[in-house]
Structure formats: C-alpha cells, structure tokens
Amino acid sequence: AVVNLDNSVVDLETLQALYENRAQSDELEKIEKHSKASKEKENAKSLDKPEQFLYELSLIPNFSERVFCILFQSTFSESICSIRRKLELLQKLCETLKNGPGVMQVLGLVLAFGNYMNGGNRTRGQADGFGLDILPKLKDVKSSDNSRSLLSYIVSYYLRNFDEDAGKEQCIFPLPDPQDLFQASQMKFEDFQKDLRKMKKDLRVCETEAAKVYQLSLEEHLQPFKDSMEQF
C-alpha cells in the first residue's frame, strides 16, 4: 500500500501513526542485532510482536522517506488554502473599512454627533476626527433620562435617514460581519510568517527525501511514487 500510494488500504491517519511510531535507527539496530543473534542460537527468544512489527515495517523500501513525502503532500494544499483564506478575509475587511459606504456613513455620524455634543467646548468642539478608542465607549454615553445610549441613537438615526431598506428583508448590515472582524483581529503576521517558513522548510525536506527514494529504490518500486512527487 505504501509503495503503491494506495490510501484505501492504509489511510493517511494510520500512516501518520505508523510514521510517528516507526523504529528509530538505534532501536532498529538493536532489533536487527537480536534477530541476527537469535538465528545463530537454538531456543533463542524470538522478537515480541511490537518489535517484530517495527522490524517488518523497516523492510518496506524507504518507508520513512516515502511516508514523510506522502503525508506532506496530503496536507500541503489544505495548509496553503487555510493561509490564503485568512489573508483574503483580512484583505476584504481592510478594503471594506477603507472604502465601504456604510462604514463611512456610520463613522461620519459618530464624528457629527461628537462634534455637536462638544460644541460648547473650545478645545474639543468641531474636531476633525476622533480616536478609535472612543468607539467602544459610545454605549456608555447616556441620555439625560438614562433611557438610551449614544450608540442606540446613532443606530436608529442611521436606519431612519440612510437605510432605505430598513425593516425589510433586503436590509444589509452596513459594517463588516462581526465574526469576520473578530477573526481578523486575532490574526498576526508573525504567525503567517512562521507557518510559511515551516512549509518552506518541509518542502525542502520533502524534495531531499524524495530524491533519496529515487536514488535508493529498485526500479520496480519507483512508480507511482516518482511521478506523483515530481508532479507535486
């Protein structure tokens, strides 16, 4: 199954487990040494099942190199797509925040009402802008009778004066989706760089391991591995 790349016999999850639990060189050396010694002795203890299994696994031509390449190939596209999806979401959000008409209208209302409320204050009245840190505080600014917040007033004003579809099924939320915003806020460029560096490193290892298989395998064990890896 490993030589023929047949995942119907041994699925990728099982392959991963086999790869992680394969015998390391020093373990294999001891197993082979015992196996060789037991052939030369009468009544020698045979290998126990786990050691026998590891020994037989090591007889598969270039097992370690082949399985590393197979597993890396299977996860590569998914990993790249995951990074691309995150970056596309981030890019879309940045575009919406910069140029979305709904965003501009809502932020325009925040500025207009803020300027009006600060109208009697020479240092803060008629400001050209505001710090983003005030946005979470809009809900804390209350009316004189404490019945509503500045945030709820801005929302109702927007619906009354800007949204023609207010109350209808086709009404569209004017700001980016809150879930998308939350996801984007958790993203770090350092994580993207770290993931891409790891993929680049593993890709180089995959090329090296595949080259070992081409070099060391018998002709009958080269395909379909060689074609599959070269195409990948």
Query: Residue 195's pLDDT is what?
Result: 94
- In this predicted structure, what is the pLDDT of residue 35? 75
Q: Report DSSP letters for 82-136, one per residue.
A: HHHHHHHHHHHHHHHHHH-HHHHHHHHHHHHHHHHHTTT-TTTTT-S---GGGGG
pLDDT in tens, the chain (232 residues): 889 888 888 888 988 998 888 888 888 888 888 777 777 676 667 778 888 888 888 888 898 999 999 999 999 989 999 999 999 999 999 999 999 999 999 999 999 998 888 876 676 666 677 899 999 999 999 999 999 999 999 999 999 999 988 888 888 889 999 999 999 999 999 999 999 999 999 999 999 999 999 999 889 889 999 999 999 9
Q: What is the DSSP letter of 149?
A: B
- Residue 143 CA, chain-centre distance (Å), reads 45
Give the pLDDT of residue 127. Answer: 66
The 3-state DSSP class for residue 146 equals coil
DSSP state, 140? G
Question: Rounded distance, CA 42 to CA 39, Å?
Answer: 8
Angstrom distance (rounded) from CA 228 to CA 70: 9
Q: pTM value? A: 0.67
Q: What pLDDT does 125 receive?
A: 60
DSSP 182-195: HHHHH--HHHHHHH
